[in-house]
Structure 1
Amino acid sequence: MKFHVQSSLIVILSCVLILEATLAPPDKNKKSKPAKELKINKGPVDRNVHDRNLVIDEPTSESILKESATYYKNTSARLFDGPTLGFVTPWNNHGYNVAKTFGSKFDIISPVWLQVLHKGKHKYEIGGTHDVDAKWIQDVRRAGPPGKKVLPRVMFEKFSENDFSHVLMYESARDEIAELLVQVCKNPKHKFDGIVLEVWFQLAGRVQDKHLLRLVEHLAKVLQMNNLMVVLVVPPLRDQMDFFTQKHFEALYPLMSAFALVTYDYSNIERPGANSPIKWIRRAVEHICPDTIPNYLEKRQKVLIGMNMYGMDYTLGGGGPITGRQFLDLLKMYKGSLNHAEEDEENYFEFKKPSKHLVFYPTLYSINKRIELAKELNTGLSLWEIGQGLEYFYDLF
């Protein structure tokens, strides 16, 4: 009996000790183990993203955070042979460095600098020349490849309906604008190789085709006569909106050095989703240059598939576009692999705390898929814009 009492006391005492250990408040003096800090790799490395097996359909947030600031040390190595244009904007000046570091990847660099301004009755001038950086242009050309072209983007800015009507109706107005563009390109301080013209977006659907064609043809002919290139920015087919057709492409093909097809911005805050569904890109190219026309593969070399280097962050309040840096900040709040939208060939992730976010942003995998499509269709590429991307993206080009 004595043995059983002692045994019972031992069991009871053990339970009390266990209960105290469970319910007792934690020792405030006891230090918690710090979270392991993720090592971020940066700068040039010995192997490209393909050799490091980073081009996968469902990359992890950790691998992106860890490796996205690296790039293959041989920046002159080129994997895509088609014509490639990279836009650079003054409001995202990281692009200025990208254009030099990865210069060999781009045949054309287009700084978003210039505007055609209406300055009173029958008077025009070129604005934005204060942004022109002659030293940077020299550095970009030295970065290669041989024959690198620098073409500033040109928009018509602050034009009223009457202002546009005057330009469309009067040859003298078109002559004056064309001559101003030639002068700014021929300026010995920088010597641009031509322009990227963005006017079709502004006027398509607002004016008759014949007037818009006449304006673009007039400017292109004058520039071409002065040995200057013209790349025309054009809208893709979307839903029922067909503002640039095969007919337009065929009419302008002899005058244009290239067509920058804006195959991004497919979704928006009212209709969240992929930025640039890959099947839509294919349709957009085949719409303006189908395989039924003579020499279609040769003609497609002038078509530059638009590729977004930015993403979209959709929130309950609407959301908006994000750059690479903003993407990485959001990615820190997400653990695990990114989702793969197989139909669109894009990646995305979502989280609900501290607030709900649905984030689409390019990955090595989605970019590589679009490069493969460009090779298949025999087109070039147009990147908007290179300062918004991640460093290791440029291993792919």
Structure 2
Amino acid sequence: MHPSDALVVLLLPFLLVGQLSSVQGTLSPNDKPKSKQQKEVLRGPQDDDVFGLGLVSPEPLAKDILAHHRAYYKDTATRRFNGTTLGYVTPWNSHGYDVAKIFAKKFDIISPVWLQIVKQGDAYAVAGMHDIDAGWVSDVRRKGKVQQQQQLQRTVKVFPRFIFDHFTDRDIKLLLSDAKERTKVNEVLIKCCKDNHFDGLVLEVWSQLAGRIDDKILFNLVLQMAKELQKQQLRLILVIPPYRKDTGILFGEKHMDTLYKHIYAFSLMTYDFSSVQRPGANAPLYFVRQAVETIAPKGCADMEAKRSKILLGLNMYGNDYTPDGGGPITFSQYLDLVKNVKKHLTYDERDVENFFEIKNENGRHIVFYPTLYSINERVKLAQELGVGISIWELGQGLNYFYDLF
């Protein structure tokens, strides 16, 4: 059954649950099997990875998820994916700080979501500096060091993410129309990066302004920032939106042609395909593929160079849809829900995602959340397309997911 059929059932609460309920059910808090599962939970480093344990299945058993999700392969320096890998970390999800250190060798870039560009009178400043954890940055770099050939070392780079915060329309108009204003912003950003020994920055601005202003003005903002950062041996990663039918092409081939030689990488937001208003899969595989091919289609000029700079977005969160709406969930909420599943999760062949439907004391739920299989299929797609990966966000997913990278 396609998940859209189940969603019809969910959103019409007076109908009986259909085919999905035949493979799932509810465990009461006092059920003995649940206690047994809790005792069998594996934690920390293990001798076998998820492939050796046979856990990467299109229809994973709920009991296997509950038993293995806290574990991971002991050799955390092993990398299966050979493209650029970026991981976002946020101050509101503290587990992400630990994940970044444990699996530091699997990442090329860590992007802490700490900082905002704000306006202070006629000047610009960086807000969020209190969240900067210099000790943690040092630990991540130290743990991320990898010895390469001829005694060279590679270590993880740190690119904090910046957004323009509390800018009025007048502030934005001034910034976009005046090169001197942009230089003032760039000087503040450069100082922040230099003072804190960052390698560059991630800029999230395109989604907010694309479609509202002329592309040439956005180009001016991004290109001037990239060039002024480069003069200081700093690099710019640009967050970009995927192609969607409802928004059209906000960032496409022409934008890539103009920017790719000046931008270090492009963090492509290939998630949030569905929402409470439009329930369904988080990031259908066909949608992910289309997003890359819209920007750098097969056979385009410098295709390999362009695609090597695209970081395919992977969500580590899911969605719990209920008759009242529901919303995003992370690993702890997901685990509470998946405990109610007796057998395996349902696999949707079109979207290449897993979901399950349950009814518990809080009502009816249809839950979409990444699985080993769904993530691995997107990693394989990234390899096929010659792109990198950006993970939103570390700490939202399950520990054994990192065996896949």
Give TM-score, length-normalised by structure 1: 0.90
* SS across alignment from 1:259: strand
The secondary structure found in structure 2 opposite 1:388 is coil
- State the shift of 1:230 in Å: 0.6
Q: Please list every run of 5 or more consecutive structure 2 residues that lacks an aligned counterpart in the other structure.
A: 1-29, 147-153
Please state how far the C-alpha of 1:387 moved relative to its aligned partner: 1.0
1:206 deviation in Å?
A: 1.3
Answering whether residue 142 of structure 2 is matched by residue 142 of structure 1, we say yes
Aligned mate of 1:371, from 368, 379, 386:
379
1:30-41 pair list within 5 angstroms: 34-35=32-33, 37-38=36-37, 39-41=40-42
Q: How does 1:300-315 map to 2 (within 5 A)?
A: 300-315=307-322
Match of 1:360 among 360, 368, 375: 368
Provide the rounded CA distance (Å) in 1 between the counterparts of 2:89 and 2:374.
Answer: 21
Corresponding letter in the other structure for 1:186: K
Q: Secondary structure at the match of 1:183?
A: helix
The separation in 1 between residues aligned to 2:115 and 2:137, in whole angstroms, is: 15
Name the amino acid aligned to 1:248: H
- Secondary structure of the residue aligned to 1:154 is strand
Give deviations 1:2-40, integer Å, cap 9, x for gaps: xxxxxxxxxxxxxxxxxxxxxxxxxxxxxx995552121
Opposite residue 105 of structure 1, the aligned amino acid is K
Aligned to 2:253: 246
Question: How far apart in 1 are the matches of 2:32 and 2:296?
Answer: 59
Which amino acid in the other structure matches residue 326 of structure 2? G
Determine the structure 1 residue equivalent to 2:226: 220
Distance 1:270 1:171, change over 3 A: same
2:180 match: 172
3-state DSSP of counterpart to 1:347: strand
* Counterparts in 2 of 1:336 and 1:217: CA distance versus 1, 3 Å: same
- The answer to whether the aligner puts 1:287 opposite 2:288 as a matched pair is no
Aligned ranges 1:1-397 → 2 under 5 Å: 34-35=32-33, 37-38=36-37, 39-120=40-121, 122-144=122-144, 145=146, 146-187=154-195, 190-241=196-247, 242-354=249-361, 355-397=363-405
- Over 3 Å counting, the alpha-carbon distance change for 1:292 and 1:240 in structure 2 is farther
Amino acid corresponding to residue 342 of structure 1 in structure 2:
E
- Of residues 327-336 and 257-266 in structure 1, the stretch that sits farther from structure 2 once superposed is 327-336
Aligned equivalents of 1:191, 1:210: Cα separation in 2: 32
User: May I ask how many residue pairs the two structures share in their alignment?
Assistant: 363
Cα 1:335–1:33 change in 2 (3 A) is closer
Going from structure 1 to structure 2, the CA distance change for 1:67 and 1:33 (only over 3 Å counts) comes to closer
Query: 2:84 & 2:339 partners in 1: Cα distance?
Result: 35
1:142-192 deviation line (CA, Å, top 9, x unaligned): 1114231100000000001111001011111100000111000000xx300
Instruction: Report the secondary structure of 1:327's partner residue.
Output: helix
CA distance, structure 2, for counterparts of residue 147 and residue 253 of structure 1: 24
TM-superposed CA distance for 1:295, in Å, is 2.5
Q: Counterpart of 2:313 in 1: which secondary structure? A: strand
**Percent identity of equivalent pairs:** 50
- The Cα of 1:302 is off from its aligned counterpart by 0.2
Secondary structure at 1:387's aligned position in 2? coil
For 2:143 and 2:397, the matched residues in 1 are separated by 19
**What RMSD in Å do the two structures reach over aligned CA positions?**
1.2
In structure 1, give the amino acid aligned to 2:41: I
CA contact 2:142–2:155 (8 Å) conserved in 1: no
Residue aligning to 1:23: none
Q: What's the CA shift for 1:297?
A: 1.8
Deviations 1:47-94 (A, max 9, x none): 110111000000011000000000000001110010000000000010
Query: Could you tell me how far 1:240 is from its partner in structure 2?
Result: 4.1
Contact 2:345 2:354 in 1 (8 A): yes
Residues 256 and 306 of structure 2 are in contact (CA less than 8 Å); yes or no, is this contact kept in structure 1? no
SS state at 1:220 partner: helix
Cα distance 1:373–1:33, how it changes in 2: closer, same or farther (>3 A)? Answer: closer
**1:51 aligned counterpart, secondary structure:** coil
Q: How much does 1:296 deviate? A: 0.7
Amino acid at match of 2:298: D
SS at match of 2:261: coil
The secondary structure found in structure 1 opposite 2:360 is coil
Deviation at 1:200, TM superposition (A): 0.5
- Structure 1 runs of 4+ aligned residues shifted over 6 Å read none
Change (3 A) 1:318 1:240: closer
Unaligned runs of 5+ in 1: 1-31
1:294 offset after TM fit, Å?
2.1
Q: Distance in 2 between matches of 1:353 and 1:233?
A: 39
Amino acid at match of 1:233: V
SS of 1:71's equivalent in the other structure is: strand
Distance between the aligned counterparts of 1:155 and 1:78, measured in 2? 31
